[in-house]
Structure 1
């Protein structure tokens, strides 16, 4: 079996320079779990991911497949008009991706590179030439070294660590670049543009997703200006007064194609709690019974005040001390004003005193 050409470049340039080292590349037909037809794409195995380009000269990839969710890789023996084509089924945690290589030899070599990068060991189950096995051994060594020496991924900064000015738009999410791509791809109905912290923790970025025979992601840097406001760092920078204007500018520039990402987080509909079984100690999740809230107890009827009603002296003193001293307060006038009955009793007492004094004289 002759060794297939690896088609590796002497050195990447442009946006591809930001990708991990490319171990193997070539054309493959790809059909994802949600795709109805296969597409012929230039495929690059860079680090622990497959990057798909429309052609070999494109600088921007149209799709990325992270092999961290690898489950299995097996041959697909189905046939169609192209009798020389050899098919693979790459099963991931989120679904199956069907890959078609030009021939059996190319398929075996792709399997060798994929297994080497995923398992970090040269596969022994494949029929390969000594030169091909040596290539795989070199890839294993490079990938092991890359994973040891690469800078640990820094946790995405929180909104508070980013010096934001003004109100934060609802499409802001404290996620990394990769997490932003996953969010936009999983929830296409919630919008296709979100604002997130930049990698340096001081700037911001806008991540967008659109469909062009698959997911196409773009990332735009947003920085603060010394004189105030923000600017979208593109070829012709777009100044904006605040972050809301940043989002509005991108919506306007794309004629409404880009829309802010608004994900409604679900809330629980029932109250649940965990308790232990008294017999076996097993912990069980229970749902609290849903019953209407108890009615508040009815307040006692207010007792009206009557000019003829008598109240004990202590009660009058308490009410008198708690009522403001405003002369316009009817409650105070009611308590302090003598009743007609009181006036009559006072007059009778005066008359008796006068008669008693007259009799004594």
Structure 2
């Protein structure tokens, strides 16, 4: 049997009348992070919390689960003794709660109502009927109105209005306390300490997360000093010259147990653009071609300034060999070079000498 929107069962002054407005109710099997077995409880989604009753007629709830610490919600595909049952895993900051709905349709409805209350937006990733989507829109409007009337009329200061002095560390995030805890919970490999604006808008805060049988969060106030710099407001205040020194001080005080939160945002691998279709005006997302850039034209091969050919070559000059009668050594760097005649020169001298001797003999 699928769950249905709640019908008021207690009188105007009953305990249920003191709860926030109930948007959805039905039987769910629940097993908390510290429970060994599941219990079948009547579950009501009232405001931003789940209230569990032993049965549908009880006026007093036995347990309450605040959805303010929501982390994720996913399907559990493990088998159940009831083949039609559909499981859910509701992950909170303090652990996981496993819920089992009577069937797949009921599970989708519970997911739709939970997402609507948590995100204040109708989810688009679920398979729901038009009438069910209209129910979720009404729930979003009611919950928004309830939170507006519950919060003070004065708007909280913008995180970006925090007067930051000096260079901002890369672990700074303009998020609230709850958002900081969710970030550190979802990305434990990116560090466990981030700097954020304080609630009053005039100070800053450092949020840390460590594991001790679950997530343990701590928050430290960081204020600016009139004489310049910052101070970490703990029992023994720690003065710091700038925000980088604030982070370094916490890393040093904890012997490296705390590390700055550095989340690498993904970059696009392709260039995309939106254009309108000329025929029907529909806007379509296109991916630009990823062809390589054209290369610059190659330079022509280097040629000799003067072309050489066998006919244009001049006869090789008479080369003389440089000889050194004194070997090279560090102690005798200066060497006297002597020009010794080449073999061709020696042959010519011998021929001239023979001709001169013949001429002298003929004259005698």
Give the TM-score taking structure 2 as reference length.
Answer: 0.47
In the TM superposition, what whole-angstrom CA distance separates every residue of 1:48-92 from its partner, at most 9, and x where no partner exists? 358999999999999997537999999999999999999997689
Secondary structure in structure 2 of the residue aligned to 1:252:
helix
Higher helix residue share = 1
| Residue number in structure 1 paired with 2:259 | 259
Give 1:253 shift. 1.6
C-alpha RMSD of the superposition:
13.6
Deviates more, 1:260-269 or 1:96-105: 96-105
Larger Rg: 2
Matches of 2:246 and 2:58, distance apart in 1: 29
Structure 1's 333 and 109: CA in aligned 2 closer, same or farther, altered over 3 A? same
> Does the 8 A contact of 2:190 with 2:263 survive in 1?
yes
Secondary structure in structure 2 of the residue aligned to 1:315:
coil
Matches of 2:310 and 2:334, distance apart in 1: 12
Matches of 2:326 and 2:57, distance apart in 1: 89
Matches of 2:231 and 2:206, distance apart in 1: 12
> Does the 8 A contact of 1:209 with 1:216 survive in 2?
yes
Structure 1's 292 and 110: CA in aligned 2 closer, same or farther, altered over 3 A? closer
Secondary structure in structure 2 of the residue aligned to 1:221:
strand
Matches of 1:157 and 1:358, distance apart in 2: 127
Matches of 1:70 and 1:288, distance apart in 2: 39
Give 1:12 shift. 26
Give 1:227 shift. 1.6
Structure 1's 335 and 94: CA in aligned 2 closer, same or farther, altered over 3 A? farther
Give 1:151 shift. 2.5
| Residue number in structure 2 paired with 1:147 | 147
Structure 1: tracts of 5 or more residues without a match: none
Secondary structure in structure 2 of the residue aligned to 1:71:
strand
Deviates more, 1:289-298 or 1:110-119: 110-119
Give 1:293 shift. 2.1
Give 1:267 shift. 1.2
Secondary structure in structure 1 of the residue aligned to 2:284:
strand
Secondary structure in structure 2 of the residue aligned to 1:314:
coil
Secondary structure in structure 1 of the residue aligned to 2:126:
coil
Matches of 1:334 and 1:126, distance apart in 2: 97
In the TM superposition, what whole-angstrom CA distance separates every residue of 1:278-323 from its partner, at most 9, and x where no partner exists? 45544322111012223457899999xx999999999999999999
Structure 1's 89 and 349: CA in aligned 2 closer, same or farther, altered over 3 A? same
Matches of 1:331 and 1:153, distance apart in 2: 98
Structure 1's 302 and 235: CA in aligned 2 closer, same or farther, altered over 3 A? same
> Does the 8 A contact of 2:180 with 2:194 survive in 1?
yes
> Does the 8 A contact of 1:323 with 1:331 survive in 2?
no
Secondary structure in structure 1 of the residue aligned to 2:152:
coil
| Residue number in structure 2 paired with 1:312 | 315
Structure 1's 108 and 334: CA in aligned 2 closer, same or farther, altered over 3 A? same
Give 1:272 shift. 0.7
> Does the 8 A contact of 1:158 with 1:174 survive in 2?
no
Deviates more, 1:274-283 or 1:182-191: 274-283
Matches of 1:217 and 1:14, distance apart in 2: 37
Secondary structure in structure 1 of the residue aligned to 2:30:
strand
Secondary structure in structure 2 of the residue aligned to 1:336:
strand
Secondary structure in structure 1 of the residue aligned to 2:323:
helix
> Does the 8 A contact of 2:5 with 2:23 survive in 1?
no
In the TM superposition, what whole-angstrom CA distance separates every residue of 1:169-195 from its partner, at most 9, and x where no partner exists? 110011111111111111111001000
Secondary structure in structure 1 of the residue aligned to 2:106:
helix
Matches of 2:315 and 2:156, distance apart in 1: 72
Structure 1's 308 and 131: CA in aligned 2 closer, same or farther, altered over 3 A? closer
> Does the 8 A contact of 1:4 with 1:106 survive in 2?
no
In the TM superposition, what whole-angstrom CA distance separates every residue of 1:212-245 from its partner, at most 9, and x where no partner exists? 2222211111001112211111122111121111
Deviates more, 1:262-271 or 1:312-321: 312-321
Matches of 1:178 and 1:40, distance apart in 2: 30
Give the TM-score taking structure 1 as reference length.
Answer: 0.48
Structure 2: tracts of 5 or more residues without a match: 304-308
Matches of 2:35 and 2:125, distance apart in 1: 31
> Does the 8 A contact of 2:27 with 2:42 survive in 1?
yes
Matched, 1:106 2:106: yes
Count of residues paired in the alignment = 359
